[in-house]
Amino acid sequence: MYHHPGEYVTDFCIVERRGLYHLFHIRGERWTWPLGYKELDLGHAVSKDLRTWHPREPVLPAGPPGSWDATGIWAPDIIQVGETYYMFYTGADEANNQAIGLATSTDLFTWEKYAGNPLVVPGPWSDRHVGHDVAGRDAMVFADTDRGRYLMYYTATLADGRACIALAQSQDLLHWEDLGPTYVEEDRSYDRLESAYLVPHGGRYYLFYSAKGGPKSKGFPPQAFAHFDIVYLVSDDPTGGWVKPANHELLTGWTCASEHPTFGDTTYMLYIIQEELGGIWGASTLSDPKRMVWQPDGTVRIHEYVPEGVAREALFTDRADGYTGWVRHGEGWQAWRANLMAASSPGEDSYLMNTLWGTDLALEAQVQAGPDGVASLLVRSNPSALAGYRISLDFGRGVVGFYRSFPGAPDQPLQERPVTLSGDAFHRLKVVVQGKFFEIYVDDALTIVRDEATYPEGCFGLHARGQARFQDVWAYRYVDAEGEDPTWHRRCTPRHLFPSQ
């Protein structure tokens, strides 16, 4: 996760040069969004592993008063041709008319704006035609080598108010021909599309973008949005014919502005995570990299990516450690087939808590449940009062859920998403907690990402409602050369505020 101290990160791009990754991103002061934010310029950071970033001097400030980019520059995208790097970016004038310009560099540190900017302005099909301030932003340039051209994807708005992704083409990256919209969003609950990114794979084209429905994200509560999603389309043609696959919505609620660069044989996914303060979104952070995995049916899934040099240090494994010393609440826990645990009390909640106390960790298990069963992982919990977080597969409702627990009150749903579950099979459920950020995986696919800061530390455990089974339960930390965190070697002493055994 990355943001420079005192700043936030939004729309970004990543390019590799001589074994070093360069990140360029919108840069602004943290927690200023509710007051009418002003983005500063484009930030710059470097990394060897796409996870640990080291800031460098910012690049490309806004233009002088009266210029086409006077009020800010956003959303960089870089393509390399020969020894030159071409950065396309969005600028806006005092009337908020948006257009796309160019800057070039040969070393990624020093950039020069092109004298002929702006290069791409939305055509008469856009909202400019009816006198609105013009939306035309978030460019991504794709080298369509099969057809000897460059294609630029960017987000815009039609004259009738529908959100769209527009297209332009060029032979030299300097002179662009308007091709109009390549995709129009007919679902009017989405009123803005942003951050287009094209990935070719297996003879098909995957167009990723952010889709929003509601007010501008900054300074508003998450509940104000009908949609705040990272989504994608698929086509056999890079210029049109887009269809929504079955898992069109990859992530919902708290993420946006994803990028999907390919380095070597791996296509990565990084994205922006919205952060909440006082009930509103007030800043944002860059995620750690994930790995894109193409399925046999042509869809994609987001998998975890752990770079070389990062190891998993076990805190608990059921096969090696067993459940001796764990704290029980409710009936029904019993050993089942060696190290598997089962809880079978119909309609009742049962808890099984480890007392090891700490902060960041990954907790995973293979879980199975009956038709109305719920199987859950517990993190940052109190083993007596059971305050903390519950991550559940609800087999009756067919959802994965993230809940906050508080003593004496019903669990509060933070986010739920539909998933396909089979009561006859075990499903892998996993949660990764890093600081205040939570990632939830179902059968290895990233499903929920969220910023949640109520409980900063605690214990881990299991929860069951009705018939549920657990196997291969594993809690661990990701460690590198910095070594271990001593807080995971301290146990708390439960007071048994609820009847247990």
Region 41-58: what's the mean pLDDT? 94
User: What does R_g of the chain's alpha carbons equal in angstroms?
Assistant: 24
Range of the domain at 362: 311-491
Q: Let me know whether 185 and 334 are in one domain.
A: no
Distance CA(20)–CA(22), nearest Å, equals 7
Q: Let me know whether 368 and 453 are in one domain.
A: yes
Question: Which residues are bridge partners to 311 per DSSP?
Answer: 479
Angular region, 11: left φ>0, alpha ψ -120 to 50, beta rest: beta
Position 488 pLDDT exceeds 70: no
Compute the mean pLDDT over every residue in the chain, rounded to the nearest whole number. Answer: 90
Q: Let me know whether 153 and 299 are in one domain.
A: yes
- Position 269 scores a pLDDT of 98
Please state the pTM of the whole predicted model: 0.93
Residue that is last in its domain, among 249, 284, 304: 304
- Position 498 scores a pLDDT of 44
For 269-283, write each residue's pLDDT tens digit.
999 999 988 888 888
Position 325 pLDDT exceeds 90: no
Burial group, residue 495, by CB count within 10 angstroms (0-12, 13-18, 19+): exposed
Q: Let me know whether 320 and 300 are in one domain.
A: no
Q: Let me know whether 29 and 178 are in one domain.
A: yes
- Higher pLDDT, residue 152 or 35: 152
- Higher pLDDT, residue 132 or 262: 262
In a domain, 249, yes or no: yes
In a domain, 486, yes or no: yes
Position 337 pLDDT exceeds 80: no
In a domain, 216, yes or no: yes
Q: Let me know whether 237 and 369 are in one domain.
A: no
Beta strands in 305-387 (DSSP E): 311-317, 327-329, 334-336, 340-343, 349-353, 356-357, 361-369, 374-381
Q: What DSSP state is assigned to residue 118?
A: -
* CATH number of the domain enclosing 120: 2.115.10.20
Region 332-354: what's the mean pLDDT? 84
Q: Let me know whether 147 and 218 are in one domain.
A: yes
Q: Which residues, 6+ apart, have CB-to-CB distance to 296 below 8 Å?
A: none
In a domain, 59, yes or no: yes
In a domain, 501, yes or no: no
For 415-458, write each residue's pLDDT tens digit.
999 999 988 899 999 999 999 999 999 999 999 999 999 999 99
Q: Let me know whether 67 and 34 are in one domain.
A: yes
Length of the chain measured in residues? 501
% the chain with pLDDT above 90:
70
Residue that is last in its domain, among 260, 287, 304: 304
Q: Let me know whether 299 and 337 are in one domain.
A: no
Residue 247 CB-half CA count within 13 A: 18
Structure tokens at 300: 């994609």
In a domain, 2, yes or no: no
Q: CB of 281 within 8 A of CB of 33?
A: yes
Position 499 pLDDT exceeds 60: no
Position 48 pLDDT exceeds 80: yes
Region 339-357: what's the mean pLDDT? 86
* Tally of structural domains, the chain: 2
Burial group, residue 178, by CB count within 10 angstroms (0-12, 13-18, 19+): middle
* CATH number of the domain enclosing 356: 2.60.120.560
